[in-house]
């Protein structure tokens, strides 16, 4: 499961790890967004069902991230092929690999585009086009795969296509 060290996704991920521990489910928690704080590192490492991977790779929705996208994908891909998970839970958009055969779950937390719409009440600038293309590619990849989220992905994509151009999410 990917997580984000910079915001509420961290809390969401650790709460999910705590809940999964009750069912004896092992989690390989992969941190993006910068090195975890000492508190975050201790919090993750104290979970008996968590194997913790940390990085300083930037988040996919930050503009200065684009140089990190390919190295992040390679890192996640190597973890995926080492662990061979039953389910891969992504808390971000841009790192889906077409070669992955396991069930994929993506939690749609707020991202740069939705934040821009909500906070500024206007269309995002052109510089976000690359990010939107990455999200679209990832969603297309998820949609093509036979996995538990396929129907939900189709519904999400249809709603997004038919959504008004300005909306707060």
Distance from C-alpha of 76 to C-alpha of 32, rounded to nearest angstrom: 10
Domain total in the chain: 1
Which range, of 8-17, 20-29, 77-86, 129-138, averages the lowest pLDDT? 129-138
Report if residue 168 sits inside a domain: no
Query: What pLDDT is stored for residue 25 in this prediction?
Result: 94
Distance from C-alpha of 155 to C-alpha of 159, rounded to nearest angstrom: 6
Which range, of 38-52, 122-136, 138-152, averages the lowest pLDDT? 138-152
Report if residue 73 sits inside a domain: yes
Query: What pLDDT is stored for residue 20 in this prediction?
Result: 95
Query: What pLDDT is stored for residue 117 in this prediction?
Result: 75
Give 7 or 136, the one with higher predicted confidence.
7
- Residues spanned by the domain of 20: 2-162
Token pair in block for residue 157: 């994509």
Give 125 or 39, the one with higher predicted confidence.
39
Query: What pLDDT is stored for residue 75 in this prediction?
Result: 92
Each residue of 72-116: pLDDT tens digit? 888 999 999 999 999 888 887 666 777 778 887 777 666 666 677
* Nearest in space to 76 (alpha carbons), one of 32, 141, 22: 32
Report if residue 152 sits inside a domain: yes
Cross-strand pairs, 31: 3
Query: What pLDDT is stored for residue 102 in this prediction?
Result: 82
End-to-end CA distance of the chain: 24
Each residue of 41-71: pLDDT tens digit? 999 999 999 999 999 888 776 656 667 777 8
Query: What pLDDT is stored for residue 91 in this prediction?
Result: 82
Report if residue 129 sits inside a domain: yes
Confidence of residue 165 (pLDDT cuts 50, 70, 90): very low
Give 80 or 150, the one with higher predicted confidence.
80
Cα 102 → chain centroid: 16
Report if residue 62 sits inside a domain: yes
* Nearest in space to 49 (alpha carbons), one of 79, 17, 76: 17
Mean pLDDT score across all residues of the chain: 77
Report if residue 102 sits inside a domain: yes
């Amino acid at each position: 499961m990917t997580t984000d060290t910079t915001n509420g996704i961290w809390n969401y991920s650790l709460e999910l790890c705590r809940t999964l521990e009750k069912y004896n489910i092992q989690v390989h928690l992969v941190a993006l967004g910068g090195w975890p704080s000492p508190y975050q590192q201790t919090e993750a490492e104290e979970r008996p069902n968590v194997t913790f991977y940390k990085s300083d790779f930037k988040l996919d929705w930050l503009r200065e991230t684009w140089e990190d996208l390919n190295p992040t994908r390679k890192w996640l891909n190597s973890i995926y092929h080492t662990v061979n998970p039953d389910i891969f839970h992504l808390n971000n958009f841009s790192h889906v690999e077409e070669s992955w055969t396991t069930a994929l779950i993506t939690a749609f937390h707020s991202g740069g585009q939705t934040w821009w719409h909500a906070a500024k009440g206007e269309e995002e600038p052109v510089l976000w086009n690359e990010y939107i293309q990455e999200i679209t590619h990832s969603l297309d990849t998820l949609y093509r795969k036979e996995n538990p989220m396929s129907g939900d992905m189709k519904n999400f994509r249809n709603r997004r296509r038919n959504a008004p151009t300005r909306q707060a999410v």
